Chains A and B, each alone.
Chain A
Amino acid sequence: MERNTLVGIDFLLMGSIISALGFFLADSIPIASFGFALAVIGALILLIVPEPVPQDALKALLKDAVRNVEIILEESGLRNRAYFMKMEDGEIRALIPLTGNDSKPAATQFAELDKAPRRFIVNLKGMRGLLVIPPGNEMVRLAKVEKGDDLEEALRSTLVEYSDLARGVLAIEENGGKIAKVQITKPQLGSDSPYFNDALGTPVSCVAGCVAAVVRGTPVRIVEERYDPSFIRLTLEGAGGS
C-alpha cells in the first residue's frame, strides 16, 4: 500500500475515534470538531492522486526527447510540416516529407504507407521523408481518445484533465470538419528547438496533432501555429481521404 493511502487511512481512523470520543464521552464540541477536521484531512489525502515522479523531472525527460528529434531533423535539414497519422497497429506516427509544404500526398499514398513495413526513412511511390514517433503518441492512448470523439472534448481530456499540459482548450471546425482552429490556453511546456517546432509544432501542439489524427481517423497537419507563453493558436488541416 502506498504512503499516501496509509497516511490518509491513519488520519481518517484517528479523526473518527477522537471525534466520537469527544462527542459522546467527553461531551466536548471543540474536541469533536478537531477529530472531524483530522478525518477530513485524512479523506482528502486519500482522494488526492499522488505524484510518484516530480513534474520537473517529467518535463526534463520530455525536453530531452524533443532534442533528440531536433538533432535528427537538423542533420537532415528538414523543416516541412509533418503529417500526423494513426497507423493500423494503433500507433501514431509523424511523416516529415522531403518535399515542401505545397505538395500534398494523396489518400492512396497514405494508405500504402500504412500497409508498408515501418521504416524510419520512407521512400514509397513518390512519398519520401522521415517517419518518427511524435511526443504525444502514448499520451493519446492513455487518455482513451477514440475515432469519432468530439475534437474539443478529446483535446481537453488529453491536454487539460489527463496531462495538465494546458489550462484550457477551445476548438472550432470549419469546412465540413476539414479545417480545425484550436486555441490552447496557458501551455505548460515550450520548446527552443526550431526544427522540431517547424516540423511537428511545439510539444503541446504536437500532442494536439496526435489527438486530431486519432479523432478524425485521417492524416492531419499543423498548417499554422502561433505560440505565446499564455496561449497557442493552431490551424489543423486534414489530409488524404475521409
Chain B
Amino acid sequence: MAMIPFTVFTFLNTNDLGIFVSAYTIEYFALRLIMNPKLRLRVDVLGLILLVLFVYFVALRVANILGVALP
C-alpha cells in the first residue's frame, strides 16, 4: 500500500493527493473483500473515512472540470 505513491508518481508523473487517496480506498476495499478480516467494531470506521475523503476529492475534481468554484 505504501509503494503506491512512488509507483503512481513515477509512472504517471502526478502530484495530486486525490489520486493517491482514491488508490488507497480501492486497494483497502479490494483487500478487505479478499481477506475478510474480523474487525473489532461492527461499523467499518476506516472504510467510512476513506470513502468520505474519496467523495471529497472526486467532488473537487468534478467542480474543477465544470469550472465551479468551491468554498
Contacts and interface: CB of A to CB of B under 8 A. Distances in A.
Instruction: Decide whether A and B assemble into one complex.
Output: yes
17 contacts: A29-B15, A29-B16, A30-B9, A33-B5, A33-B21, A34-B5, A37-B1, A44-B28, A47-B39, A47-B41, A47-B45, A47-B46, A48-B37, A48-B38, A48-B39, A49-B40, A164-B38
Given A29-B16, A30-B15, A49-B39, A36 B24 contact: yes
Nearest to A31: B5
A24 to B, nearest CB: 13
Contacts of B16: 29
Contacts of A47: 39-41, 45-46
A40 B50 contact: yes
Interface residues of B, number: 21
Contact of A40 (B6, B15, B28, B37): B28
Interface in A103-145: none
B2 A41 contact: yes
Contacts of A44: 28, 46
Interface of A: 29-30, 32-34, 36-38, 40-41, 43-44, 46-49, 164
A38 B2 CA distance: 7
A30 B23 CA distance: 13
B63 interface: no
Contacts of B17: 29, 32-33
